[in-house]
Amino acid sequence: MLTLNMRNRLFTGRWLLLGMLVLLHSALMLGVESLWIRPLLIAHLGLFLLWQPLWRGERDVGNGAVVFIGLAAGAAMFFLSWWAIAFWLTGLFGLVGARVFAFRDRWTRLLYLTVMAYLLAVLLLWVVPNLFASQTNIQLIQAQAGIEAGNILMKYVLPILLVVAVIPFGHEKTENIQAIDLIYSLLLFMLLALVVLGSLAFMNLGRLEYLEALLRTLLLMGVVLLALGALWNPRFGFGGLQVLFSRYLLNVGTPFENWLAQLAEAAQREPSSASYLRRAIGLLADLPWLSGLSWQSPDGSGQSGQFSKFAVVTQEGELRLTLYAKQSLNPSVLLHVQLLAQLIGYFYQAKQREQSLSEITRLQAVYETGSRLTHDLKNMLQSLLSLTSIAQSREQIAQQLLRQQLPLLTQRIELTLTKLQQPETTIENAQLPLNVWWNSVLLRNQFQGIVWRAPDNLPDKKIPAPLLDCVIDNLLDNVLKKRQNDPDLEIRVEIESEPLRLQVCDNGNPIPEAIAAKLLHTAIVSESGLGIGLYQASRWAGQLGYRLELTSNSPGAVCFELCG
């Protein structure tokens, strides 16, 4: 037995098509009254079965298909006439014409276009004239000119056209594509049948010769096709038949728009991917042409309905759907099913990403809270270190300063412990008068060699003291570290009350541009410690309606400003 590859090498599609058409041509030259026409047509049908695009050539033919083929061939041979041949050529023309759209290779498409021209010429200039001539003497006289022209074509022109059609002008490719567009095939069949019947109507009603009736029919068909082409995609405000036809194709077996609206609503309303998947599966199970389905996903698996042998398996990400149809699905409905499964898969993946983002946001909130508390603890430890150094001194002023700072430090420790115990407590509630907060900052940093500038009388309006503490501690900590490399560095802190504005400046070197571009906008890894503290302070300020900015970054003038 020859394998499929051997069969493709020995009997390519173009040679099968040539043999099929040569046998058909020989049978038609003999006429329906000849004894040899039936053997030739049976051989022609055999080659057609090897070439045809309806069943794959490598598939086993079942008993039912064998019975059907045998009955069809027997009926065709028993009722053989010019009408049967005309019907067969019209169907063959539709199959060949539909295959033109299945190939992108230019030479393959040219081959099928040439075969279409051959079949059209044989049908209209040989078969149809003989068909009309076999009816009455009047039609015989009217079709005589067509028979004479067709006889010349059948003997001299069309055989050459067949030979030219199968010559491999380009790179010869094995035609193992089994595809047919049913819509195009039916349209071509109906158009050609309309040409034949239209010619017959003109001959009977107008008493015209066949060639004149054929030309009138072709002219009328051309006008109708031009009108349909104009209506298909018009430019005068009308939506066109293209929109209506596309809408029809999108509603193959299901009200697509309503189903899609319900699916989108489920994606918006359901809180989790698992609940959405259950809702989507329920919508899919309501389709009338499905008998059951099963699914596997990270949120679980399950099945619904009854299984059948007509299964369609789709995979979208981690979601695997198996749909069981009540009957075999045609290609258009199969594409429709795959589209529905893709929509469910895309929405399901979107819900999974939504859950992941929610978890990331929750972790980010925990991270930001922990980062703020870490900076508070760091600042308090630094204050404790300073107070420890002061406590070791025996001077009276040191003891007095210690007594002033300890209550403030105790207050900050209590506030941090409150955050740890009650993290849901809003930070805006911890407020102090502006003048009280400013005096506490002066006391904490009075030995740091900083220039402080403030109005003579600061008002006692309430401010978010934890935010301002976080900002001033981070800015001063960074600039004091900068002073370790530049002992002559001058530090200046200014405050204004209306509107609230806190500014920290130094006259040192500017921050590198690579760091300054990212500072306050993202966490920065640097040896000096700049970045993470100011980033958290900037985000905190934005949440409370304030703005922390680097207002100046030039040599001798590096300034940060917090304003409301």
pLDDT by residue (tens digit) across 450-507?
A: 888 888 888 888 888 888 888 888 888 888 888 888 888 899 999 988 888 999 999 9
pLDDT of 521 reads: 76
Assess if residue 419 is contained within a domain. no
Q: Are residues 39 and 92 in the same domain?
A: yes
Q: Is residue 421 a part of any domain in this protein?
A: no
- According to DSSP H, which parts of 271-395 are helical? 273-285, 331-391
Q: Do 113 and 187 share a structural domain?
A: yes
pLDDT value at position 11? 42
Listed residues 209, 238, 273: the one ending a domain: 209
Domain count across the chain:
3
> 320 and 440 share a domain?
no
Residue 42's domain spans which residues? 4-209
Q: Which of 125-129, 288-292, 493-497, 503-507 has the lowest mean pLDDT?
A: 288-292
Position 154 in a domain: yes
Nearest to 214 by CA among 284, 132, 91, 305: 132
User: How confident is the model over 308-322, as a mean pLDDT?
Assistant: 83
Assess if residue 226 is contained within a domain.
Answer: no
What mean pLDDT is reported for the chain? 76
Q: How far is it, in rounded angstroms, from Cα 123 to Cα 384?
A: 106
Query: With contact defined as beta carbons under 8 Å apart, do 563 and 501 qualify?
Result: yes
The CATH number of the domain holding residue 550 is 3.30.565.10
Examine the domain organization and report whether 260 and 202 are in the same domain. no
| 187 and 266 within one domain | no
Both 281 and 337 in a single domain? yes
Residue 461 sits in the same domain as residue 536: yes
Residue 161 lies in a domain: yes
In a shared domain, residues 286 and 168: no
Q: For CA atoms 180, 184, 186, 190, give the dihedral sign.
A: negative
Please give the span between the terminal C-alpha atoms of the chain, in angstroms, as a whole number: 89
Residues 474, 548: contact at Cβ < 8 Å? no
Let me know if residue 229 belongs to a domain: no
Please state, in angstroms and rounded to a whole number, the distance separating the CA atoms of residues 40 and 49.
14
- Residue 239 scores a pLDDT above 90: no
Reported as a single tens digit per residue, the pLDDT across 428-439 is 456 788 888 888
Residue 124: DSSP 8-state: I
Q: What is the per-residue pLDDT for 560?
A: 92
Given 209, 225, 241, the domain boundary residue is 209
74 pLDDT band, cuts 50/70/90, is: confident
Contact indicator for 522, 537 with CB cutoff of 8 Å: no
349 and 491 both lie in a single domain: no
- Asked if residue 231 belongs to a domain, the reply is no
Together in a domain, 193 and 266: no
Residue 9 is predicted with a pLDDT of 39
> End of a domain among 326, 361, 396?
361
Q: What is the pTM of this model?
A: 0.46
In a domain, 428, yes or no: no
Q: Which residues pair with 319 in a beta bridge?
A: 316
Residues 553 and 479 in one domain: yes
462 and 532 housed in the same domain = yes
